[in-house]
Amino acid sequence: MNLMYEYEELPAAEGDCYEAAGRYIMQECLTRLAGNGCELTLVHGEVMGQGPIEGITFGHAWLLDGDTVIDRSNGRDIQMPRMIYYLVGQIDRIGNVHEYTWEDARRYITMYEHWGPWDLETESGL
């Protein structure tokens, strides 16, 4: 019995989303604690690719400030309503999201000695 498997090479995982999101929440929350506290949430989740990686899911990191998404990855400063960001990335449909308070993020960064992901496992492995 001869079985042939087709396999498409996945693109190399690139980007700084975990570090960018982690650094942002650390810096912002330290600043905000001097005032009224910090309500930012760090999110690690599986998203659907766009453009050249359309149809491929991968791990990504961003922040929530209420109903606003902040995405600082790769030098960007994206701020948009959560509803739109989650729709474009098909985040709710995929349903693989882990949210961390500032205190949780600080604890995980210290414990694992890296920016993440910590709990996220994706179907593609990216």
Angle at which helix 17-33 crosses helix 102-112, to 10 degrees, equals 130
Binned at pLDDT 50, 70 and 90, residue 30 comes out as confident
For residues 8-33, average pLDDT: 81
- Residue-by-residue DSSP string for 55-108: T-EEEEEEEEETTEEEE-GGG--EEEEHHHHHHHTTHHHH--EEEE-HHHHHHH
Binned at pLDDT 50, 70 and 90, residue 2 comes out as very low
Q: What is the pLDDT at residue 1? A: 41
Binned at pLDDT 50, 70 and 90, residue 14 comes out as confident
